[in-house]
Structure 1
């Protein structure tokens, strides 16, 4: 009998990355009958898959690489109370990325990106339903929508008009009634002046619980998971070889790079351009709260803040900080999050847990999904703010691509060839 550990060299697919995208790919392939080894670097603090707001954001069909985003950048900087941070020490990272983003924001590029992202997001919730129905424990997916609120009268009127004119894909919303605003106001010191309620978006019960459930399902299906850091990818005879930090070399049947921010460094030496940046987000979380369990996630749009209740506590998330993944944390951002919570009168108290993680972002704000030059090398990364949203559908797409089946959406717009 051949031991499972001896299959890695010739028979198995190796998935590099243990976040929501890597786990989704590994599980989909393993359930399809492909023996899979998942290599998880198990970093501390945990990745963006753990630290996100838990929101299934099917409404975000317009890529952030747009002229509207660029025009709004000055007033969205942290220095003016906004969420965007461009640390001067990191200019060598964010300036080249920003110039590429300007190119991607051209009207024709934005239109093509929106069409591609809309198609992907249209499949996101159905994929989540299929995945959640197959996981234990039940109830990991909550399809109760989310709310967006404003406290200023002028902001409420202007923002409502903006949302009514926006393309939200398959997501539906309505202006909140007085009764609905009062329902939301239970967690605020000052009632909101206006708001909207999305009806068919969703959230997960707890991001950490989702990652645990995916890992358990993968191993129950026969997959193997190892803690290990991939040091490099090399080509040998036209196929990709993995070099681990300990010096071990793996020659698997297939390699799928789903390593988030680290994916670019692995693929660039092979001649692939993956101009990825760490778009870092911050959150605070407390288990000491009185947040009602019937409320969905609430976006306080004037503060660029989203607050979600999970099984593990209430989490407030914000900030878009362009930097290296391992750059020092900016303590001021956690302080501002705590100040927001206090100013709003949220029913959550300290001690607050602090987290910082890196969203893997490409300049056009589209993910990278496709096959590389080597015959056995594939990739799925760069999902920016939509990793949790698009993880399950990405897993299905990768499994279909590898098995030669027709994919639910065309993958050409997500090929790294778009970067030259």
Structure 2
């Protein structure tokens, strides 16, 4: 591969920007196609959690068997709206096949290998962009609000494979700090080590973009609407040509790659958050997972965010205001230090049935990296390095090739 080749990346999320910077370091002339809607993306709206502990793909028989307990109508986070039936029913059948033991075991081995590299890759990235304070390696907490759920949760986590992360009971001082955050009694809590947080997702995206531009990268301010031989047709009617095209457009990757004859059985897995700019969360305090409520609360530089929900739906379906209402109910019932109702956000996690990403080569000059489900932020930096190596060698990682769905 010619190190000076021209490369066009479709997608300005955490995956796309990390690929762009990695390719610049390898000597490529890089342009990135992005429509500029940064705050609508999952790269912005996620919980900021570097989740190295999540080594088990969610496509597992254990998750399938317990799904009914997690339904939204029962107070849980899992939502299967009737209007999305045509999307989530075929996806669910594929997930059931992916959850079979042999395939789950292969998927876990592949995902574990990626997660082992996730934190070192993020350390390299924040050092490379001269923003080491973006990465807070302070772990996170998981808390329970009843003795029964605490005992059950502790048993489950103690027997779980958490990869490079470890967990321990909280200290008395940590329990005092956690108890000061909520008016509800905490009956049990653990602290994870080896996980991390991005200090502010908006600043992360801004910094990645600014470094890309400062190093000679160009931004194409348009949406990619079609792949054409040797390039991409854009929403402004022009065609951008390149030696290499990399599709890293999240849920938008599906229609583009299906034009190239690939099968992409991806669903819009939608999440919700509320965020308060004015709050009383302690500065620098790690994220807290309120496991009984399937909610994670994270303090960022620009606000306090409560996030939850796994809604399988069409990408263009209207938001469900009941989910923001439930987040506000949780925040109020817990007495968390939010001020006001909080800004509302909904975004899409691009999810494939086996809960593994798609990273590979579609044809000469056409590559892809998307479908990171809940782990897009976690795997952003390492995916950038993998794609840069793939472009150099012309060979992609077999475990994540879309051929597994063909």
Same-fold call, TM cutoff 0.5: yes
Q: What is the Cα deviation at residue 111 of structure 1?
A: 0.3
CA distance in 1: counterparts of 2:297 and 2:196, whole angstroms: 13
Q: State the match for 1:7 in structure 2.
A: none
* Aligned: 1:397 with 2:383: no
Q: Unaligned regions of 5+ residues in structure 1, if any?
A: 1-9
CA RMSD of aligned residues (A): 1.4
SS at match of 1:125: helix
SS at match of 2:237: coil
Q: Which moved more, 1:131-140 or 1:11-20?
A: 131-140
* Aligned: 1:144 with 2:138: yes
Task: Decide which of 334, 348, 365 is 1:376's aligned counterpart.
Answer: 365
Q: Which moved more, 1:127-136 or 1:200-209?
A: 127-136
Q: What is the Cα deviation at residue 136 of structure 1?
A: 4.0
User: How do 1:33-182 residues align onto structure 2 when only pairs under 5 Å count?
Assistant: 33-43=27-37, 46-182=40-176
Q: State the match for 1:314 in structure 2.
A: 304
Q: What is the Cα deviation at residue 137 of structure 1?
A: 4.0
Whether contact under 8 Å (2:123, 2:132) holds in the other structure is: no
Q: What is the Cα deviation at residue 330 of structure 1?
A: 0.5
* Aligned: 1:275 with 2:265: yes
Q: State the match for 2:319 in structure 1.
A: 329
Q: What is the Cα deviation at residue 377 of structure 1?
A: 0.3
Q: State the match for 1:412 in structure 2.
A: 398
Whether contact under 8 Å (1:182, 1:191) holds in the other structure is: no
Q: Unaligned regions of 5+ residues in structure 2, if any?
A: none
Whether contact under 8 Å (1:45, 1:357) holds in the other structure is: no
Provide the TM-score with structure 1 as the length reference: 0.94
* Aligned: 1:192 with 2:186: yes
Q: State the match for 2:16 in structure 1.
A: 22
Structure 1 residues 294 and 209, CA gap change in structure 2 (3 angstroms): closer
* Aligned: 1:224 with 2:218: yes
Between Structure 1 and Structure 2, how many residues are aligned?
Answer: 403
Q: What is the Cα deviation at residue 177 of structure 1?
A: 3.2
Q: Which moved more, 1:97-106 or 1:245-254?
A: 245-254
Whether contact under 8 Å (1:45, 1:356) holds in the other structure is: no
